[in-house]
């Protein structure tokens, strides 16, 4: 499942609820509801940063006056959630049976992201 978009401000862990767009030819910063898709040259902001944004001297700020709400889940989010549930419900594959003909106690093997390394002789 895709994670919610986060605020573009450095170090801010909050979920984005607004989009900032600069209109350079009009020296205007526009803060509106969160855009449907992340676009280049726009910035996602959390509510505190969207409400407190200031623009450079000589610029205007046009700010959405309503409530900033997180976007509802999209169909893609719901499909991804259903796939994750299906994947979690699948039975785990059975581990391979040990080979009785191969009896090496110092065998190198893997378990997940770990690897067993035999001791030096």
Q: Distance of alpha carbon 5 from its chain centroid, rounded?
A: 6
3-class secondary structure per residue, the chain: CCCCCECCCCCCCCECCEEEEEEHHHCEEEEEECCCCCCCCEEEECHHHHHHCCCCCCCEEEECCCCCCCCCCCHHHHHHHHHHHHHHHCCCCCCCCCCCCCCCCCCCEEECCEEECCCCC
- Hey, which residues does 33 pair with through a beta bridge? 18
How far apart CA 50 and CA 27 sit, in angstroms, is: 18
The reported pLDDT for the residue numbered 102 is: 59
Q: Tell me the pLDDT of the chain averaged across its residues.
A: 79
Residue 1's pLDDT band, with cuts at 50, 70 and 90, is very low
* pLDDT of amino acid 8: 94
Q: Lowest mean pLDDT: which of 19-23, 76-80, 94-98? A: 76-80
Q: What percent of the chain has pLDDT over 70?
A: 70
pTM of the model as a whole: 0.56
């Amino acid at each position: 499942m895709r994670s919610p978009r986060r605020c573009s401000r450095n170090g801010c862990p909050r979920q984005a609820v607004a989009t900032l767009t600069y209109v350079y030819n009009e020296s205007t910063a526009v803060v509106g509801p969160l855009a449907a898709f992340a676009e280049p040259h726009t910035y996602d902001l959390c509510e505190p940063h969207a409400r407190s944004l200031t623009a450079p001297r000589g610029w205007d700020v046009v700010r959405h006056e309503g409530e900033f709400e997180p976007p509802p889940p999209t169909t893609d989010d719901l499909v991804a959630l259903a796939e994750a549930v299906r994947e979690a419900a699948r039975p785990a594959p059975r581990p391979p049976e040990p080979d009785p003909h191969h009896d090496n106690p110092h065998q190198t093997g893997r378990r997940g992201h770990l690897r067993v390394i035999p001791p030096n002789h």
